[in-house]
């Protein structure tokens, strides 16, 4: 046993004797060769060649894709094995190199493992919170020592044979419940067994509940005799929230160079793809595999994709083929069909395809053929909106041609890191950042009460559709009128959904969509709602007119919801309940923008109405009711009996009326009474000032004495024209 503190000298990958044995020399027009850049790679080239042990087959894929999260990769899968005590039984290996913060160092054994003398890498996880070491993802990777995902792979157009460098071909993943601190010598439980492995990386979904220790027990490895027995890094990720932040990138040697687990620090690189994501989003440290093989075409992906996906527990699948298709002059139609097969396979597995544009290069074949292939990728994006768009590598390298090496195909070391950063930036924008919601309507001017369609699209920060958005959207509106119909809380399909909406109130209205959990995921739409066709006329006035006095009123054509129909073009005819002479009504009139102001004169006091009716459609009508007040007093009426007994009091009534015969209820004058009866015993009312309570009418008591007849006169003390007398026959008692 060698604890994590054991130190030794390390050999560089170059010293380790990495080899590539080419089948034959190949001109750049026949295949994609990668040059050897430090620990980077070579060629664009592989079928799956591995055998699963029974335990591995049983537990290979308990989960394939993340379930409903607010946006893709919302729930992180943190690395729980970073820096925990690490142990190995190799005499010269440094176990902690497998789980330190640098992916440029690996657990690198001097011995070669066998069934009788296995080599192990063990982690003490007892210091990791129990909640974080239940469901886990174990991910080991040998790249960049072996750059090819499958070193045994034979391409559709065979280009190369590959050498493995310290790949574990047979191993068992084990756990132990012993307390932490001292590496247990017994009690190990096998959770998964693999034999015949030819891949440079593998991931395993395991449940470590109840265990404090994890061990990878390697019983066989493949590699050059010049190389060490086992070379790898091994991370354990907390997968309690699912496998939604687990990635694999398939492709050719261009992807090999960019996505390998190495920092590329000698070329200005600052970390692996996962480390770039983590630097931008500290809560996330994605698990990922570099699944590329030099020399491969889209047809290679087609023949191998189902086998590869069966070994991948995660969610996101990069598909980066095309350079070799261009070099081999694969037709755009065939290329498109191959990609359709790849995308459909990924979707059928419950995962998310990610497709970048093919990289720019300067060979005649690339310049002639890649643009048409990239056009097919544009068509693929449209046909399958579930695709997350990867970086546009054509535009990137076309704008940065110095990052392409002398073979006119592969990026330089700086170019490989630049491409890696393009991948990181694209995924940070399109997967890791919460999207916004963009709303658009089938019409900018919907009609009140009529349904219209509205499309909601989840958008990444770079404007692409967030096809992985799985949140639930709630709708609200500035229009709170009865009859408004908004969609129920809904999910989107591939980042988009179309819904039916009905608004009621005319004018500018807003509809807002907001994620039910994450309020910052929101968007709004402003529309100008038009009134429906007029169904009524609304006549209104604030006036309390006096009889004979002109007053104004408005007429508005409204729809059934009370909106003004600015497009109303009918003619309105007016009638009134007041048919007295002197009444003045507007002539038949049209409205302007659904409204008009008119004047009328009524003469009969009391409640009166004016009705406006469309001259063609009688149902479009409306009525105004006004309380007409009397005009000023124009006459005084003295009402007295025709006869009375001498010396007996009788009643007389004084009524003030306006010129239209309405009682002048507002009269406040003073009335003086006189009589032709000369006797001093006559009794007449004293001068009387009318009050509000009198309302223009007052009864008085009079006593006359002199037969046979006498007059009584009532006269306003100021306005002598307000006067009247009456003869009263006076009879003897």
Higher per-residue pLDDT: 471 or 585: 585
Q: How do strand 160-162 and strand 522-529 relate by DSSP bridges? A: unpaired
pLDDT of residue 224: 63
Mean pLDDT of the region 108-130: 97
pLDDT of residue 21: 30
Mean pLDDT of the region 343-361: 97
Tens-digit pLDDT profile for residues 592-616: 999 999 999 999 999 999 999 999 9
Q: Find, among 398, 365, 510, the residue nearest to 446 by Cα.
A: 510
Same-domain status, 615 and 686: no
Same-domain status, 408 and 448: no
Same-domain status, 266 and 373: yes
Q: Does 106 fall in a domain?
A: yes
In sequence order, the 6+-apart residues with CB closer than 8 A to the CB of 519 are none
Q: Does 54 fall in a domain?
A: no
Higher per-residue pLDDT: 216 or 228: 216
The residue among 508, 529, 550 that closes a domain is 529
Same-domain status, 282 and 392: yes
Same-domain status, 444 and 420: no
Structure pTM?
0.68
Report the share of the chain in percent with pLDDT over 90: 84
Question: Domain limits at 444?
Answer: 436-529
In sequence order, the 6+-apart residues with CB closer than 8 A to the CB of 181 are 124, 126
Higher per-residue pLDDT: 500 or 64: 500
Same-domain status, 409 and 464: no
SS3 of 640-708: the string is CCCEEECCCEEEEEEEEECCCCCECCCCCCEEEEEECCCCCCCECCCCEECCHHHCCEEEEEEECCCCC
Same-domain status, 395 and 478: no
Mean pLDDT of the region 337-356: 97
For the chain, the average pLDDT equals 90
Tens-digit pLDDT profile for residues 70-80: 344 456 899 99
Q: Say which CATH number the domain at 310 has.
A: 3.40.50.1110
The residue among 402, 433, 464 that closes a domain is 433
Mean pLDDT of the region 667-682: 98
Same-domain status, 424 and 445: no
pLDDT of residue 683: 98
pLDDT of residue 58: 30
Residue 17 has pLDDT above 50, yes or no: no
Mean pLDDT of the region 248-255: 98
Residue 65 has pLDDT above 70, yes or no: no
Same-domain status, 236 and 141: yes
Tens-digit pLDDT profile for residues 268-284: 999 999 999 999 999 99
Q: Does 40 fall in a domain?
A: no
Cβ(43)–Cβ(20) under 8 Å? yes
Same-domain status, 91 and 225: yes
Q: What is the DSSP string of 353-418?
A: EEEEEPPP--SHHHHHHHHHHHHHHHHHHHH-TTPEEEEEHHHHHHHTGGGB-TTSSSB-HHHHHH
The residue among 582, 611, 628 that closes a domain is 628
Q: Say which CATH number the domain at 94 has.
A: 2.60.120.260
Q: Does 155 fall in a domain?
A: no
pLDDT of residue 728: 98
Same-domain status, 257 and 334: yes
Q: Does 31 fall in a domain?
A: no
pLDDT of residue 44: 35
- For residue 733, the surrounding DSSP H or E stretch is none
Tens-digit pLDDT profile for residues 486-540: 999 999 998 999 999 999 999 999 999 999 988 889 999 999 999 999 999 999 9
Tens-digit pLDDT profile for residues 625-642: 999 999 999 999 999 999
Q: In the block, which residue shows the tokens 């025709």?
A: 642
Number of domains comprising the chain: 5
In sequence order, the 6+-apart residues with CB closer than 8 A to the CB of 568 are 534, 557, 591, 594
Higher per-residue pLDDT: 488 or 388: 488
Using pLDDT thresholds of 50, 70 and 90, give the confidence band for residue 30: very low
Q: Does 414 fall in a domain?
A: yes
Q: Does 662 fall in a domain?
A: yes
Q: Find, among 141, 171, 148, 137, the residue nearest to 231 by Cα.
A: 141
Same-domain status, 343 and 236: no
Using pLDDT thresholds of 50, 70 and 90, give the confidence band for residue 8: very low
Q: How far is it, in rounded angstroms, from Cα 189 to Cα 176?
A: 6
Residue 19 has pLDDT above 80, yes or no: no
Q: Say which CATH number the domain at 620 has.
A: 2.60.40.10
Tens-digit pLDDT profile for residues 565-591: 999 999 999 999 999 999 999 999 999
Using pLDDT thresholds of 50, 70 and 90, give the confidence band for residue 49: very low
Q: How far is it, in rounded angstroms, from Cα 176 to Cα 184?
A: 8
Q: Does 573 fall in a domain?
A: yes
Q: How far is it, in rounded angstroms, from Cα 554 to Cα 586?
A: 11
pLDDT of residue 160: 79
């Amino acid at each position: 046993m060698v604890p994590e503190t054991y130190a030794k000298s390390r050999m560089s990958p170059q010293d380790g004797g990495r080899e590539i044995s080419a089948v034959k020399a190949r001109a750049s027009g026949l295949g994609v060769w990668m040059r050897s850049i430090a620990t980077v790679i070579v060629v664009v080239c592989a079928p799956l060649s591995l055998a699963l042990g029974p335990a591995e087959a049983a537990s290979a894929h308990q989960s394939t894709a993340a379930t409903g999260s607010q946006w893709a990769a919302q729930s992180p899968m943190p690395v729980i094995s970073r820096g925990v005590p690490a142990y190995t039984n190799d005499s010269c290996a440094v176990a902690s190199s497998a789980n330190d913060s640098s992916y440029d160092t690996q657990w690198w054994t001097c011995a070669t493992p066998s069934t009788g003398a296995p080599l192990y890498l063990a982690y003490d996880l007892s210091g990791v919170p129990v909640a974080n070491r239940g469901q886990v993802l174990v991910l080991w990777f040998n790249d960049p020592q072996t750059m090819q995902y499958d070193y045994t792979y034979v391409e559709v157009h065979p280009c190369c044979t590959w050498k493995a460098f310290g790949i574990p071909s047979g191993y068992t993943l084990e756990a132990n419940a012993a307390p932490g601190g001292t590496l247990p010598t017994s009690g190990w439980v096998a959770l998964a067994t693999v034999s015949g492995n030819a891949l440079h990386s593998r991931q395993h979904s395991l449940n470590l509940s109840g265990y404090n220790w994890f061990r990878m027990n390697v019983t066989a490895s493949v590699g050059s005799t010049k190389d060490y027995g086992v070379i790898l890094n091994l991370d354990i990720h907390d997968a309690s929230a699912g496998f939604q932040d687990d990635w694999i990138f398939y492709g050719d040697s261009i992807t090999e160079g960019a996505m390998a687990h190495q920092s590329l620090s000698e070329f200005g690189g600052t970390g692996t793809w996962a480390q770039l994501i983590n630097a931008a989003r500290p809560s996330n440290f994605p698990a990922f595999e570099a699944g590329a093989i030099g020399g491969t075409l889209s047809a290679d992906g087609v023949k191998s994709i189902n086998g590869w996906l069966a070994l991948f527990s995660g969610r996101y699948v990069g598909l980066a083929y095309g350079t070799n298709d261009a070099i081999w002059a694969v037709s755009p139609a065939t290329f498109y069909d191959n990609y359709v097969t790849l995308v459909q396979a990924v979707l059928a597995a419950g995962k998310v395809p990610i497709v970048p544009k093919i990289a720019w290069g300067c060979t005649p074949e690339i310049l002639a053929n890649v643009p048409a292939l990239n056009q097919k990728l544009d068509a693929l994006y449209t046909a399958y909106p579930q695709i997350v768009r990867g970086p546009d590598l054509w535009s990137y390298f076309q704008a940065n041609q110095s990052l392409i090496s002398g073979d006119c195909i592969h990026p330089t070391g700086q170019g490989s890191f630049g491409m890696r950063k393009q991948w990181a930036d694209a995924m940070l924008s399109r997967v890791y950042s919460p999207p916004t919601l963009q709303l658009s309507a089938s019409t900018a001017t919907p009609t009140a009460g009529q349904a219209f369609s509205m499309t909601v699209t989840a958008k990444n920060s770079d404007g692409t559709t967030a096809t992985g958005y799985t949140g639930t959207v709630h709708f609200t509106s500035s229009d709170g009128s009865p009859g408004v119909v908004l969609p129920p809380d809904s999910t989107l399909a591939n980042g988009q959904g179309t819904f039916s909406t009905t608004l009621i109130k005319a004018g500018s209205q807003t509809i807002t969509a907001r994620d039910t959990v994450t309020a910052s995921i929101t968007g709004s739409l402003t529309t100008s709602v038009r009134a429906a066709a007029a169904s009524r006329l609304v006549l209104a006035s604030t006036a309390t007119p006096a009889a004979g006095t002109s007053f104004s009123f408005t007429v508005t054509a409204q729809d059934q919801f009370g909106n003004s129909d600015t497009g109303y073009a009918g003619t309105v005819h007016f009638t009134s309940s007041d048919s007295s002479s002197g009444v003045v009504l507007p002539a038949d009139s049209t409205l302007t923008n659904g409204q008009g102001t008119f004047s009328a004169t009524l003469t009969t006091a009391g409640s009166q109405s004016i009705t406006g009716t469309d001259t063609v459609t009688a149902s479009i009508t409306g009525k105004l009711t006004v309380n007409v007040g009397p005009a000023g007093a124009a006459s005084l009426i003295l009402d007295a009996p025709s006869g009375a007994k001498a010396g007996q009091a009788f009643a007389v009534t004084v009524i003030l009326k306006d010129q239209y015969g309405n009682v002048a209820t507002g009269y406040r004058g003073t009335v003086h009474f006189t009589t032709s009866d000369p006797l001093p015993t006559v009794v007449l009312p004293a001068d009387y000032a009318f009050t509000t309570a009198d309302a223009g009418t007052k009864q008085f008591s009079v006593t006359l004495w002199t037969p046979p007849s006498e007059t009584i006169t009532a006269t306003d003390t100021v306005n002598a024209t307000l006067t009247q007398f009456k003869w009263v026959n006076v009879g003897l008692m």
